[in-house]
């Protein structure tokens, strides 16, 4: 008899849905199994106004209602999906933030040029310049999500950014700061240093190291930013995720790119995991005997940290094998064509 595991109101607290046809391809793959997701604002142009937030949310909701790109996938497009919207961090005044606050869940800060569509991000972490915005966010209780990388050597970028996390966390002790998609032991250790620092961790950073990207053949579909790090880094991430550490949330950073942009001379960064995330997480947590902690990692911690209350949704998974499709639309998922040990059994 197969083993089953039930997850309630799963949340993906770091998700790229893009726009247009891509949005219509990928949004149903998340809304099928998640109650909600924090939607990244790095569109072209980035989401920097109240109108843009509202309009993007409407496009996301419309896409969730659209038939999945591949009708054979037979997805139940749930009515219960909440896109938690984010605003692209720039220096905003308090009036603007007050006006937009009800429409957003957080601001997402990108260092300028650090990843896909981040050119309009922060080019200098000057506290005097940033203080009005950050203080207003703190006063309004709007969390700050941060892509924490410098422009240094690729394996050092996250570790080098720790001093900026310390600067922000110590100067704005009432501001909730989420270190997004952490990849290093040093970032994990930072969680215990400041009460207002939190983190998301992706599926792929729990599974792979740089060895998987570039140790054998080069694997463009596993290339992401931040790049996967060393084995001891993965171990540190795995430990806090498997333990259901209360300051750690699942955020897939699932980032779809068309196949031709992944398999070419200059491959774009991003791993597409949305449609395999819960199945893989079940397999991973089960293999470590930690299935009971998965609920904290994929939902409860995020509800508490962000103060959000998603509508009821119950996902039952079982340890029946699931063969991952080669593509969803023109996007190649992680583990394309391979088999995962767990699958979705029902969604209610």
Applying CB under 8 A, the span of 80-88, 194-202, 211-219, 294-302 interacting with a second copy comes to 211-219
DSSP secondary structure letters along 15-48: E---SHHHHHHHHHHHHTT-SEEEEP---SS---
Does a cis peptide bond (omega within 30 degrees of 0) precede residue 256?
no
Residue 327: CB minimum distance to a second copy, A:
12
Residue 267: CB minimum distance to a second copy, A:
4
Q: Residue 200 and residue 245: Cα distance in Å, rounded?
A: 11
Which residue number, 111 or 143, has a Cβ lying nearer to a second copy?
111
Which residue number, 76 or 269, has a Cβ lying nearer to a second copy?
269
- Interface with a second copy, residue 211, by CB under 8 A: yes
Rounded to 5 degrees, what are φ and ψ at 243? -80, -10
Among 264, 323, 339, 346, binds a second copy (CB under 8 A): 264
Among 231, 287, 339, 346, binds a second copy (CB under 8 A): 231
Applying CB under 8 A, the span of 2-10, 53-61, 263-271, 291-299 interacting with a second copy comes to 263-271
Applying CB under 8 A, the span of 54-62, 136-144, 169-177, 207-215 interacting with a second copy comes to 207-215
Using the 8-state DSSP alphabet, how is residue 63 labeled?
Answer: H
- Of 118-177, binders to a second copy (CB under 8 A) are 153-155
Among 56, 165, 223, 328, binds a second copy (CB under 8 A): 223
Over the window 289 to 328, marking each residue x when it contacts a second copy by CB under 8 A and - when it does not, the resulting string is ----------------------------------------
Sign of CA dihedral 318, 319, 321, 326: positive
Distance of alpha carbon 42 from the chain centroid: 13
Which residue number, 35 or 183, has a Cβ lying nearer to a second copy?
183
Among 213, 255, 276, 294, binds a second copy (CB under 8 A): 213
Which residue number, 50 or 327, has a Cβ lying nearer to a second copy?
327
DSSP secondary structure letters along 65-134: TSPPSSGGG-----S--EEEEEEE-----HHHHHHHGGG-SEEEE-BTTSSTT-TTSBS---HHHHHHHH
Residues 6+ apart with CB under 8 A from 138: 172, 174, 175
- Matching residue, tokens 């103060």: 307
- Interface with a second copy, residue 1, by CB under 8 A: no
Q: And the tokens for 303? A: 């509800």
Size of the site for a second copy (CB under 8 A): 27
Active site residues: 253
Which residue, among 325, 316, 324, has the nearest Cα to 341 in the 3D structure? 324
Residue 205: CB minimum distance to a second copy, A:
15
């Amino acid at each position: 008899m197969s083993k089953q595991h039930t997850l309630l109101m799963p949340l993906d607290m770091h998700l790229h849905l893009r726009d247009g046809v891509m949005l219509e391809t990928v949004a149903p793959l998340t809304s099928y199994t998640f109650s909600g997701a924090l939607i990244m604002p790095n569109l072209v142009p980035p989401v920097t106004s109240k109108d843009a937030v509202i309009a993007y949310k409407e496009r996301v909701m419309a896409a969730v209602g659209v038939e999945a790109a591949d009708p054979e996938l037979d997805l139940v497009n749930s009515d219960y999906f909440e896109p938690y919207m984010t605003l692209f961090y720039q220096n905003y005044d308090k009036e603007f933030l007050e006006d937009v606050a009800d429409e957003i869940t957080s601001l997402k800060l990108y260092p300028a040029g650090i990843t896909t569509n981040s050119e309009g991000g922060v080019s200098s972490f000057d506290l005097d310049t940033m203080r009005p915005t950050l203080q207003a966010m703190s006063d309004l209780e709007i969390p700050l999500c941060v892509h924490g990388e410098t422009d240094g050597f690729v394996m050092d970028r996250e570790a080098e950014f720790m001093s900026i996390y310390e600067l922000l966390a110590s100067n704005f002790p009432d501001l909730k700061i989420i270190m997004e998609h952490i990849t290093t032991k040093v970032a994990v250790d930072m969680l215990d240093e400041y009460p207002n620092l939190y983190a998301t961790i992706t599926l792929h950073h729990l599974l792979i190291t740089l060895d998987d990207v570039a140790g054998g053949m080069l694997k463009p579909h596993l290339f992401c930013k931040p790049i996967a790090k060393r084995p001891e880094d993965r171990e540190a991430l795995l430990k806090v995720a498997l333990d259901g550490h209360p300051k750690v949330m699942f955020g897939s950073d699932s980032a779809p790119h068309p196949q031709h942009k992944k398999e070419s001379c200059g491959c774009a960064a991003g791993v597409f995991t949305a449609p395999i995330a819960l199945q893989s997480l079940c397999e991973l947590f089960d293999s470590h005997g930690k299935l009971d902690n998965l609920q904290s990692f994929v939902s409860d911690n995020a509800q508490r940290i962000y103060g959000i209350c998603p509508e009821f949704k119950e996902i039952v998974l079982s340890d029946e094998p699931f063969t991952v499709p080669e593509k969803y639309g023109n996007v190649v998922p992680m583990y394309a064509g391979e088999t995962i040990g767990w699958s979705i059994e029902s969604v209610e």
